[in-house]
């Protein structure tokens, strides 16, 4: 992150320089160019943020353009999903929604121009032969026997390709550059290939389709893009990007490459994401454990949190992996400010207030969001029989456990102080019920005599609580970098406990009419969102992210320290 002025990075430096030299007359126009062959994920969110953010920063515009040059892999379904996700993230491209396929006619004419000036030719080598002729990383390639046909013959053959006179694989159009270049992209790259597949937008009008390299720069040029921001793997393509624009002699945007975003404890490659879906490790592209935008949305992430995250992590050329806790930090940050609080008990323990009147029900006023006074208050019913969280009671508590224990007094949030007077167990010795006494003078949660308690517990009234389902999500992978092991398949690292369904949990009746997508904080537990599977009869909540938990952290640390001392007992061999 930058200190002082935010949002500065190596890209803004390049743009500032362009503005100083007047290369683009002070104009900044970017584009976000997804291929419609899959769903958007958190990495794309970073790219969208970058492209739209840069444009906004310089008072320019950003287009949404689909790079739809390979109909064999692309589908209308993806186009629609990508538009929906990009909108949800909060971006707006007005009427500047474009498709590379919009430019197929112009691209064809550009190819014809290159043929005319002798810089492109139709090659009838087979795919295998082309590969062999290309050479290797350390050996130069050699020229195709078809390389020196006349422009007239090439024109005729290219027209034959367009008209369907060749089958797939029988001919391609190639740029005539340099078969000995150290940069393999310059060894006569393919410009057009024959594809026998209907295109989602142009139908069966075309038999030939431009390659990415022949389409991208010219599409940028046609749209007046000034700064074409892409990921690092295109660094080797920039000389080709430049070559096409220079030889066609049209407006020349600047390609700039940055390191794509990676996040720990997940995978982002399309291939791996598809496997997670197809092999049934998750329920679909929008499974709340997926790093897709639709998955994150269903998990309860907010667009604001995602944007804050993107703003916070810097843009650079260093390939790195951002720790997941960074994302979660911004998520909690936003949810803390916006999510209404509510009480819910996930693992119930019955509490009977013995000195509370049998039939009395009191409505306790509860604050919806201590961070936002405008969120107001609600009423929560209190009665003789309650549920508290099982974890909030220990019969024989360790020294630093502040919650309920035999003989100890704690506060029930927004209600009363209670003291545990008796513990009821079943025949196996399992605690099944607590008997408590309340102090009527502590209504609202404070004692007139000024005495303090060390803990405040959440609770629900047993007879008023609504039963709901909770889906408790954890990281999909148990390790930071599931795809960095060359021998072990990433699926081996899938967390067997990535989803725990708890049914029923008990929630305040206030939640009765909660709608899908509404986010709440279950006090002292976690943030939850109402899932789309929710119905009027059965509410379903997805755990978005747990609250930070000092107690659990302390326990974990104590456990680790124990193991460490054991290990220490064995002297380490000297190096």
Residue with smaller CB distance to RNA, 153 or 485: 485
d(CA 201, CA 188): 29
CA terminus-to-terminus distance, the chain: 39
Catalytic residue among 23, 119, 156, 270: 270
d(CA 44, CA 461): 45
| Residue 288 three-state SS | coil
Alpha helices in 343-408 (DSSP H): none
Residue with smaller CB distance to RNA, 244 or 282: 244
Inter-residue contact 207 to 275 (CB < 8 Å): no
d(CA 16, CA 476): 41
Work out how close the CB of 327 gets to RNA at its nearest, in angstroms, rounded to a whole number.
9
| Other C-beta atoms lying within 10 Å of the C-beta of residue 349 | 18
DSSP letter string, 373-384? GGG-EEEEEE-S
Residue with smaller CB distance to RNA, 194 or 306: 194
Phi first, then psi: give them for residue 366, nearest 5 degrees: -120, 140
Catalytic residue check, 260: yes
Phi first, then psi: give them for residue 360, nearest 5 degrees: -75, 135
Work out how close the CB of 549 gets to RNA at its nearest, in angstroms, rounded to a whole number.
5
CA neighbor of 545 nearest in space, from 344, 332, 369: 332
Phi first, then psi: give them for residue 329, nearest 5 degrees: -60, -50
Work out how close the CB of 136 gets to RNA at its nearest, in angstroms, rounded to a whole number.
4
| Other C-beta atoms lying within 10 Å of the C-beta of residue 310 | 21
Residue with smaller CB distance to RNA, 200 or 282: 200
Work out how close the CB of 344 gets to RNA at its nearest, in angstroms, rounded to a whole number.
11
Q: Under the phi-then-psi rule, with left for phi > 0, alpha for psi from -120 to 50, and beta for the rest, what region is 120? A: beta
Q: Using alpha carbons only, what angle is made at residue 255 by residues 253 and 261, rounded to the nearest 5 degrees?
A: 140
Tokens matching residue 111: 């190819």
Work out how close the CB of 533 gets to RNA at its nearest, in angstroms, rounded to a whole number.
26
Residue with smaller CB distance to RNA, 282 or 524: 524
d(CA 415, CA 456): 10
Residue with smaller CB distance to RNA, 471 or 524: 524
Catalytic residue among 96, 260, 272, 350: 260
Which residue is listed with tokens 């009977």? 352
Catalytic residue check, 270: yes
Catalytic residue among 8, 23, 35, 142: 35
Q: Using alpha carbons only, what angle is made at residue 237 by residues 233 and 241, rounded to the nearest 5 degrees?
A: 140
Work out how close the CB of 537 gets to RNA at its nearest, in angstroms, rounded to a whole number.
28
Catalytic residue check, 35: yes
Inter-residue contact 433 to 351 (CB < 8 Å): yes
Residue with smaller CB distance to RNA, 232 or 360: 232
Work out how close the CB of 538 gets to RNA at its nearest, in angstroms, rounded to a whole number.
25
Residue with smaller CB distance to RNA, 11 or 540: 11
How far is the CA of 259 from the CAs of 89, 188, 230, 315, 319, in angstroms?
Answer: 21, 27, 9, 7, 5
Work out how close the CB of 169 gets to RNA at its nearest, in angstroms, rounded to a whole number.
4
Residue with smaller CB distance to RNA, 72 or 373: 72
| Other C-beta atoms lying within 10 Å of the C-beta of residue 561 | 10
| Residue 133 three-state SS | helix
CA neighbor of 504 nearest in space, from 387, 394, 341: 387
Residue with smaller CB distance to RNA, 282 or 403: 403
CA neighbor of 434 nearest in space, from 388, 383, 400: 388
Number of H helices, E strands in the chain: 13, 25
CA neighbor of 27 nearest in space, from 230, 227, 223, 221: 227
Q: What are 258's strand-pairing partners? A: 231
Work out how close the CB of 329 gets to RNA at its nearest, in angstroms, rounded to a whole number.
4
The catalytic site residues sit at: 35, 260, 270
């Amino acid at each position: 992150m930058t200190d002082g002025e935010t949002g500065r990075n190596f890209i803004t430096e390049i743009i500032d320089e362009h503005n100083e030299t007047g290369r683009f007359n002070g104009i900044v126009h970017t584009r976000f160019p997804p291929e419609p062959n899959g769903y958007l994920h958190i990495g794309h969110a970073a790219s969208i943020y970058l492209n739209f953010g840069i444009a906004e920063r310089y008072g320019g515009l950003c287009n949404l353009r689909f790079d739809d040059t390979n109909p064999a892999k692309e589908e209308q379904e993806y186009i629609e999903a990508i538009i929906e996700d990009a909108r949800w993230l909060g971006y707006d491209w007005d009427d500047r929604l474009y498709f590379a396929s919009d430019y197929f006619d112009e691209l064809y004419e550009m190819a014809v121009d290159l043929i005319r000036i002798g810089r492109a030719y139709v090659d009838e080598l087979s795919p295998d032969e082309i590969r062999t002729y290309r050479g290797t990383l350390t050996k130069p390639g050699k020229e195709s026997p078809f390389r020196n046909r006349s422009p007239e013959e090439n024109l005729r053959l290219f027209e034959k390709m367009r008209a369907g006179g060749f089958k797939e694989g029988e001919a391609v159009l190639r740029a005539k550059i340099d078969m000995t270049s150290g940069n393999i992209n310059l060894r006569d790259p393919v410009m057009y290939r024959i594809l026998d597949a209907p295109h989602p937008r142009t139908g069966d009008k075309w038999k030939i389709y431009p390659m990415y390299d022949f389409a991208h720069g010219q599409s940028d040029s046609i749209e007046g893009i000034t700064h074409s921001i892409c990921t690092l793997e295109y660094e080797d393509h920039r000389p080709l990007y430049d070559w096409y624009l220079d030889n066609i002699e049209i407006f020349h945007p600047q390609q700039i490459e940055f390191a794509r975003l990676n996040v720990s404890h997940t995978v982002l490659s399309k291939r791996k994401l598809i496997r997670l879906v197809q092999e049934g490790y998750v329920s679909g592209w929008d499974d709340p454990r997926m790093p897709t935008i639709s998955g994150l949305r269903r998990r309860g992430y907010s667009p604001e949190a995602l944007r804050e995250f993107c703003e916070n992590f810097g843009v650079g050329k260093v390939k790195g992996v951002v720790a997941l806790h960074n994302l979660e930090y911004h998520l909690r940050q936003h949810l803390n400010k916006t999510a209404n609080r509510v009480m819910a008990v996930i693992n119930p323990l019955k509490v009977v207030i013995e000195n509370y009147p049998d039939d009395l029900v009191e409505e306790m006023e509860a604050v919806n969001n201590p961070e936002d006074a405008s969120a107001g208050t609600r009423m929560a019913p209190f009665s003789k029989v309650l549920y508290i969280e099982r974890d909030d009671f220990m019969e024989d508590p360790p020294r630093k456990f502040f919650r309920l224990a035999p003989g100890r007094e704690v506060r029930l949030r927004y209600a009363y102080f209670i003291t545990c007077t008796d513990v009821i167990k079943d025949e196996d010795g399992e605690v099944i019920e607590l008997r408590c006494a309340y102090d009527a003078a502590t209504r609202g949660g404070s004692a007139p005599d000024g005495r303090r308690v060390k803990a405040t517990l959440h609770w629900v009234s047993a007879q008023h609580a609504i039963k709901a389902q909770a889906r408790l999500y954890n990281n999909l992978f148990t390790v930071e970098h599931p795809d960095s092991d060359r021998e072990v398949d990433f699926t081996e690292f899938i967390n067997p406990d990535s989803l725990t369904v708890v049914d029923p949990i008990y929630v305040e009746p206030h939640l009765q009419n909660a709608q899908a997508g509404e986010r709440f904080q279950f006090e002292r537990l976690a943030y939850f969102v109402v899932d789309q599977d929710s119905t009027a009869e059965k509410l379903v909540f997805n755990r978005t992210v747990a609250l930070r938990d000092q107690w659990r952290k302390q326990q974990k640390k104590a456990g680790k320290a124990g193991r460490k001392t054991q290990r220490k007992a064995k002297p380490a061999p000297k190096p």
